[in-house]
């Protein structure tokens, strides 16, 4: 990068560098601009670097952008690292035995090059607490990693590489309430723009279920639907008439689109499984099975695809964490209990540090602390790990992974965007492709049985 630093990049990972005056910006991964879908990575970075600006202002230039990246900004003798809104392109950092700073995409990678030992005692503690069970959506708490001395950079923070000082840069102002109608228009434009940008670059395949997230993305893809593939992973828990198979099939057939069902082996083996088990500590069981299935039976003929997924949207739907009744700002023990790590003193300490570090931002912005916790810990931990695991077989585009989009959604009245009705998200679908609301979203399993009984006693129209 300069005389003090060296950058080593995997040949499959895009790397873009833009220099302006005495400043440089390096981006590892990809970035999408929904306002200018025709722009590639270089054009987007050139616009960001068009004029000198303070670091905080430069970081905010990335707020409207989607994608998955880790970036390094070199200016005034400093190197600053930051990543996409949900931290899906992970950044880990540490010092080796000689005091040299290392920054990398994975804790395991840094451990191999620096000799950092596994944090066996804390791993055992988390395992006893149930926090690392393979079949769960597990993650290491706070900024911790499976290795001693290696830390993870959380979303909404940047890293001074030389000193390893971490600074929160968002949220730094009040999240403004957004009118329901305006939010639908704004979010719809951002999602359709991001899909358009992705379609211009990649052979896309939408992972689709009966859920609301993939339904929104299908609606946002309406203009480009003939250029996308569509698939559903048939996990062992899904019967042939499961809503996650039946409803996508009906919707896509009505639209004249093909729906591919990919069977997931409950006990796969082979190269994909071997790589994941040797790289992650431990890998997640469900993504391991899914990645193996995608490798064996790609969503698009020819085996070249990029998955379009609906992750990150759940930040704005009210987190899936179980909140204590009447809870306001959570304490570390409540966060531990909500994540299944409540009996781990280590996890509770990590969550306590997060509470201390986020208190001023929560006060200044008015953001629901549970939403911010879910964003930075669950999305930046579990989901980022999962996307890294899927890297073995595919790249993924997550259109909801935009700070401006998330902030706009969080500005909508929680009664409209959260359970049980998710009215705002239904409005969004209705605005983009209203016919998609003819089909139920996540219908209860019992509805299938009820329909069968009604067919027997009622005339079929």
From first to last of the 461 residues of the chain, give the pLDDT tens digit.
667 899 999 999 999 999 999 999 999 999 999 999 999 999 999 999 999 989 999 999 999 999 999 999 999 999 999 999 999 999 999 999 999 999 999 999 999 999 999 999 999 999 999 999 989 999 999 999 999 999 999 999 999 999 999 999 999 999 999 999 999 999 999 999 999 999 999 999 999 999 999 999 999 999 999 999 999 999 988 998 999 999 999 999 999 999 999 999 999 999 999 999 999 988 999 999 999 999 999 999 999 999 999 999 999 998 667 787 766 789 999 999 999 999 999 999 999 999 999 999 999 999 999 999 999 999 999 999 999 999 999 999 999 999 999 999 999 999 999 989 999 999 999 999 999 999 999 999 864 444 445 444 554 43
DSSP H helical ranges for 202-307: 212-220, 243-254, 271-279, 285-296
Task: Supply the pLDDT for residue 281.
Answer: 83
pLDDT at 460: 40
Contacts of 42 (CB under 8 A, 6+ apart): 16, 18
Tokens found for residue 410? 């969080």
Report residue 159: phi and psi, to 5°. -120, 125
Q: What's the pTM?
A: 0.94
CA-nearest of 101, 117, 115 to 166 is 101
The pLDDT, as a whole number, for residue 366 is 97
Q: What is the 3-state secondary structure (H, E, C) of 89-146?
A: CCCEEEECCCCCEEEECCHHHHHHHHCCCECHHHHHHHHHHCCCCCCCCCCCCCCCCC
Contact assessment for residue 198 and residue 431, using Cβ atoms and an 8 Å cutoff: no
pLDDT at 1: 65
Quick check: 70 and 29 in contact, CB under 8 A?
A: yes
Kindly report, residue by residue over 73-115, the tens digit of the pLDDT: 999 999 999 999 999 999 999 999 999 999 999 999 999 999 9
Q: Which domains does the chain have, with CATH numbers?
A: 15-168 (3.60.20), 180-314+384-441 (3.40.50.620)
Give the pLDDT of residue 327: 64
Rounded Cα–Cα distance for residues 139 and 341 (Å): 10
């Amino acid at each position: 990068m300069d005389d003090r630093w060296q950058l080593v990049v995997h040949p499959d990972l895009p790397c873009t560098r833009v220099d302006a005056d005495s400043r440089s910006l390096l981006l590892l991964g990809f970035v999408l601009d929904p306002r200018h879908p025709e722009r590639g990575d270089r054009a987007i970075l050139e616009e960001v670097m068009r004029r000198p600006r303070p670091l905080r202002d430069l970081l905010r230039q990335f707020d409207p952008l989607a994608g998955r990246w880790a970036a390094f900004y070199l200016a005034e003798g400093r190197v600053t690292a930051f990543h996409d809104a949900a931290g899906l392109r992970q950044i880990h950092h540490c010092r080796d035995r000689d005091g040299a700073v290392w920054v990398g995409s994975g804790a395991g990678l840094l451990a191999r090059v620096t000799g950092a030992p596994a944090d066996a005692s804390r791993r055992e503690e988390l395992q006893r607490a149930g926090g690392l069970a393979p079949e769960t959506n597990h993650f290491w708490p706070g900024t911790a990693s499976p290795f001693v001395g290696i830390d993870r950079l959380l979303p909404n923070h940047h890293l001074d590489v030389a000193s390893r000082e971490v600074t929160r840069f968002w949220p730094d102002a009040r999240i403004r309430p957004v009118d329901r109608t305006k939010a639908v228009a704004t979010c719809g434009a951002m999602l359709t723009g991001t899909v358009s940008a992705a379609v211009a670059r990649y052979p896309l395949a939408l992972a689709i279920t009966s859920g609301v997230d993939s339904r929104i993305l299908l609606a946002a893809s309406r203009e480009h639907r003939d250029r996308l593939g569509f698939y559903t992973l048939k996990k062992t828990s899904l019967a042939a008439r499961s809503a996650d198979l039946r409803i996508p099939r009906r919707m896509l057939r009505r639209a004249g689109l093909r729906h591919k069902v990919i069977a997931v082996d409950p006990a796969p083996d082979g190269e994909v499984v071997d790589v994941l088990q040797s790289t992650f500590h431990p890998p997640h069981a469900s993504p391991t099975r899914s990645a193996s299935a995608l490798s064996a039976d790609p969503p698009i003929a020819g085996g070249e695809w990029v998955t379009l997924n609906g992750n990150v949207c759940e930040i704005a739907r009210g987190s899936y964490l179980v909140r204590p009744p009447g809870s306001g700002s959570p304490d570390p023990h409540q966060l531990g209990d909500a994540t299944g790590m409540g009996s781990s003193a280590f996890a509770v300490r990590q969550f306590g540090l997060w509470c201390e570090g986020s208190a001023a931002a929560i006060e200044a912005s008015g953001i629901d602390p549970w939403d911010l916790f879910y964003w930075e810990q669950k999305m930046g931990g579990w989901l980022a790990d999962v996307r890294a695991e899927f890297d073995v077989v595919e790249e993924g585009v997550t259109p909801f992974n935009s700070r401006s989009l998330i902030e706009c959604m969080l500005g909508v009245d929680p009664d409209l965007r959260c359970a049980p009705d998710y009215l705002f998200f239904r409005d969004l679908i209705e605005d983009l492709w209203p016919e998609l609301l003819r089909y139920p979203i996540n219908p209860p399993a019992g509805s299938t049985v009820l329909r069968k009984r009604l067919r027997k006693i009622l005339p079929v129209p």
